[in-house]
Structure 1
Amino acid sequence: MTHILLTGASRGIGAAAVATLSTIPDVTLVGQATTAGADHMLAADFADPDAVDRLWRDALDRLDGRIDVLVNNAGVFEANPIDGDDDAWRDGWARAMQVNLTAAAQLSRRAIRHWQVRGDGGRLVNVASRAAYRGDSPAHWHYAAAKAGMVAMTKTIARGYAKEGILAFAICPGFTMTGMADDYLASRGGDRLLADIPLGRVAQPEEVATMIRFLALDAPASMTGAVLDINGASYVR
């Protein structure tokens, strides 16, 4: 039996991943959402650093003291224009870093220490973004910086702990048909943005969920450190 903790599980990519992973007989999954939901969901607001650590403890309790795979998918995509109020801009930057990067780092640290004590390895899957490499809009410096940090963190973990059987992967979606992307497409002109995607459409959450499943369960160990793109060829590297 594989025990998985998946953050950002209530909508979009996370909900699709829950649907995909829940069909596998040998998988037991606990998800995180900002507010309480279904039986398999735990509530934790990642803007609160203490809530992140409580989530880890609660998830361990729910999963009989063992977590084999951590999927860091939770995130926020909130505009933070540079011409705003100074205090508001700093607060927006800090919130984006805490929710999109620091919370993932907190959970990754807990997971690595857990796997080191167990001595039988584990898997970490970080859902980053195309913005980590391509950048984002002028109102989203903080989002791009946080996702670039997530990619760098993934590579560092992969290099540092592979000998202990701890594997780390990252996924970099472009626009995905979720609530966050819907709002962004509407505000920026969907037709112009779609014209920049050679595939002619944004990714579906189920496509990203397929990648999460593969990395969480099936990817060969030698893939550790890999960063996989899913952006319709809107950014190739």
Structure 2
Amino acid sequence: MSYILVTGSSRGIGAAAQKALEERGLKVIGHRSREGNESTIAADFADPLSAQMLWNEALERSGGDIVAVVNNAGLFEHNSLDCSDIEWLDRWEDTLRINLTAAAQLSRFAVRHWKRHLAGKSGERGRLVHVASRAAYRGDSPAHWHYAAAKGGLIAMHKTIARAYAPEGILSFAITPGFTDTSMAGDYLQSRGGAGLLADIPLGRVATPEEIASIITYCTIDAPASMTGAVIDANGASFVR
């Protein structure tokens, strides 16, 4: 049985994605920062060695049969322009480490692994699904330069992977949600005026984790190979490209 590795699966979008994939009959290896269990591996992406540890353990648990990686783990942390230089830089580096660098490491490990294996009947070797943000295109608040930069980098990395490895049956997809009803976004919504911020979303509400999970599931299982390189927006028309 093939496995899918989903990072940041302890809550929010990641938890909804793991549930949706399992409901489709797939085996999922989840990830959280601390306290793993029989179906979840603990790895704190603030540690540069943690992504490799996660990949190695996931490979062992799956018997080497990982067919997709969902890069969903993220950090959304306020970083005021008026913080001390050290504090501002620490938050910048933590955010890029967790939101971008760990995803890059896992993508690299996965691509190298798939390149060593024969393609299946469909010609595919593996799929990457990256959960980015509308901030990659629209930017974010003055206290979230680091978050927007990390998500913009994730999109650029995704497009590069898609172009480079499509001939070898390695596919890449990206999703750019707007605000989603998770604890991570909830604090931000409240700090920015709550309901007042919703006026910027024509749909009149934020997305649910289950909505984003349905897109993740589509990209992981159902999206045709010709869609590799695609970026799917899910922001209630708050940013239309």
Per the alignment, residue 204 of structure 2 pairs with: 200
Per the alignment, residue 178 of structure 1 pairs with: 182
> What are the residue-to-residue correspondences of 1:60-71 with 2, within 5 Å?
60-71=59-70
| Deviation at residue 39 of structure 1 after TM alignment | 2.1
In 1, the alpha carbon distance for the partners of 2:58 and 2:48 equals 16
What secondary structure does 1:35 align onto? coil
1:22 matched to 2:22? The reply is: yes
| Deviation at residue 93 of structure 1 after TM alignment | 0.6
1:36 matched to 2:35? The reply is: yes
| Deviation at residue 2 of structure 1 after TM alignment | 3.2
1:144 matched to 2:155? The reply is: no
Q: Which runs of 4+ in 1 moved over 3 A?
A: none
Per the alignment, residue 5 of structure 2 pairs with: 5
In 1, the alpha carbon distance for the partners of 2:196 and 2:149 equals 24
> What are the residue-to-residue correspondences of 1:55-204 with 2, within 5 Å?
55-120=54-119, 121-204=125-208
Mapped contact 2:4–2:68 kept (Cα < 8 A): yes
What secondary structure does 2:102 align onto? helix
In 2, the alpha carbon distance for the partners of 1:38 and 1:23 equals 20
Unpaired runs of 5+ in structure 1?
none
Relative to the length of structure 2, the TM-score reads 0.96
| Deviation at residue 38 of structure 1 after TM alignment | 4.2
Give the letter for the 1:113 counterpart: R
| Deviation at residue 49 of structure 1 after TM alignment | 1.2
1:94-151: per-residue Cα shift (whole Å, max 9, x none)? Answer: 1111000000000000000000001321000000001000000000000000000000
Relative to the length of structure 1, the TM-score reads 0.98
In 1, the alpha carbon distance for the partners of 2:38 and 2:207 equals 29
1:7-45: per-residue Cα shift (whole Å, max 9, x none)? Answer: 0000000000111111122x1110110012442100000
| Deviation at residue 66 of structure 1 after TM alignment | 1.6
In 1, the alpha carbon distance for the partners of 2:135 and 2:24 equals 31
In 1, the alpha carbon distance for the partners of 2:204 and 2:44 equals 35
- Report the RMSD for the aligned CA atoms in angstroms: 0.8
Q: Percent identity?
A: 62
In 1, the alpha carbon distance for the partners of 2:169 and 2:227 equals 12
Residue-pair matches, total: 236
